[in-house]
């Protein structure tokens, strides 16, 4: 093997992709030629150095959310939204709107009770905050509907019974009406989704196994959020779009509540059910 042939094989050697029959000749040349040996060692060192000094980063949650929402808008342009009709139609006067909405939601929820469980995990991000915000958005847009509708915690508890390895928490929240729930899986992890109605807003609560999130493999939280939860048991934040998220843990359950209200109001809302948590 001459120097030119050796040079052409350096990358393959560094990446352990030299065929067995070429390895002996490569080694032999590197022993005889110090310049080529240096080139090989320098390339290997460069690769190791770059790898040790560069970290793969996760896509920022805000960007992932933005992209998903953009895709959602493209996909569902023109689709009617059951919950938006219920809660947010600007053209309907509030009093009439509320009455219509109440009737509408009853009809829709009755209908949705017949929808079979859907357990396909599709959204790619493992970030619990991002998933919670996306699900809240899906709830508002009507893409996500309760599989089981009930305002009675005991009935809903029956729906979740035996499905999750953690307790699904269903407290009565002050000034809130329990609407229903959804259960499904993400990467083999069981998720529970609870929906409340608070005045003209939806309070969505995502619940999953805290231990799984702590491990960070199938689901994860940003380090600062996880640290805060481990330290105090609570975390809250307001998104640029005005939505707030409150996370807390209770036993083996991690909860994330999302609503279009200040984080203080959302915190007070979930705290009102503290006995149930």
Partner 1 sequence: MKFSAKSEKHWAFEREALPHMDLLYNYALRTTNNAQDADDLVQETFLKAFRFWGSYEQGTNIKAWLFRIMKNSYINRYRKETKEPDTVDYDEVKDFYSSVRHESTDSNDLQETLFGNLLDDDVTKAIASLPDEFRTVVILSDIEGLSYEEIAEFVDCPLGTVRSRLHRGRKLLREQLMEYGKQRGYVAED
Q: Enumerate binding residues for partner 1 (CB under 8 A).
A: 7-8, 10-12, 14-15, 17, 34-35, 37-39, 41-51, 53-54, 56-60, 63-64, 66-68, 70-72, 74-76, 79, 115, 118-125, 135, 138, 141-145, 182, 184, 186, 191
Closer residue to partner 1, CB minimum distance, 125 or 150: 125
Q: What is the closest distance, in whole angstroms, from the C-beta atom of residue 271 to partner 1 in the complex? A: 27
Q: What does the alpha-carbon distance between residue 217 and residue 226 come to, in Å, rounded to a whole number?
A: 14
Q: What is the closest distance, in whole angstroms, from the C-beta atom of residue 131 to partner 1 in the complex? A: 8
Q: What does the alpha-carbon distance between residue 230 and residue 222 come to, in Å, rounded to a whole number?
A: 12
Q: What does the alpha-carbon distance between residue 111 and residue 103 come to, in Å, rounded to a whole number?
A: 12
Q: What is the closest distance, in whole angstroms, from the C-beta atom of residue 238 to partner 1 in the complex? A: 21
Q: What is the closest distance, in whole angstroms, from the C-beta atom of residue 233 to partner 1 in the complex? A: 27
With a CB cutoff of 8 Å and minimum separation 6, the contacts of 50 are none
Closer residue to partner 1, CB minimum distance, 148 or 261: 148
208-211 long-range contacts (CB < 8 A, ≥24 apart) are 208/128, 208/166, 208/253, 208/254, 209/164, 209/165, 209/166, 209/252, 209/253, 209/254, 210/166, 210/249, 210/251, 210/252, 210/253, 210/254, 211/252
Q: What is the closest distance, in whole angstroms, from the C-beta atom of residue 67 to partner 1 in the complex? A: 5
């Amino acid at each position: 093997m001459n120097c030119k042939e050796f040079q052409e094989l350096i990358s393959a050697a560094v990446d352990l992709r030299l065929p067995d029959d070429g390895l002996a000749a490569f080694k032999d040349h590197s022993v005889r030629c110090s310049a080529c040996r240096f080139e090989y060692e320098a390339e290997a060192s460069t690769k190791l150095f770059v790898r040790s000094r560069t970290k793969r980063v996760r896509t920022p949650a805000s960007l992932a959310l933005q992209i998903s929402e953009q895709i959602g808008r493209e996909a569902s342009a023109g689709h009617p939204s059951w919950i938006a009709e219920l809660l947010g139609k600007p053209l309907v006067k509030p009093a009439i709107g509320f009455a219509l909405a109440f009737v509408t939601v009853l009809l829709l929820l009755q209908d949705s009770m017949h929808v079979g469980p859907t357990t396909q995990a599709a959204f790619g991000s493992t970030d619990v905050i991002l998933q919670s915000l996306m699900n809240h958005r899906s709830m508002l847009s009507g893409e996500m509907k309760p599989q089981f509708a009930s305002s009675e915690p005991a009935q809903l508890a029956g729906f979740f019974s035996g499905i999750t390895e953690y307790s699904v928490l269903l407290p009565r929240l002050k000034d809130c009406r329990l609407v229903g729930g959804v259960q499904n899986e993400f990467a083999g992890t069981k998720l529970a989704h609870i929906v409340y109605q608070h005045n003209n807003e939806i309070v969505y609560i995502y619940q999953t196994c805290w231990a799984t999130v702590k491990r960070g493999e199938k689901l994860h939280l940003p380090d600062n959020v996880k640290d805060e939860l481990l330290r105090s048991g609570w975390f809250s934040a307001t998104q640029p779009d005005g939505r707030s998220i409150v996370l807390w843990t209770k036993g083996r359950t991690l909860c994330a509540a999302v609503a279009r209200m200040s984080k203080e109001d959302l915190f007070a809302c979930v705290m009102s059910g503290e006995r149930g948590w």
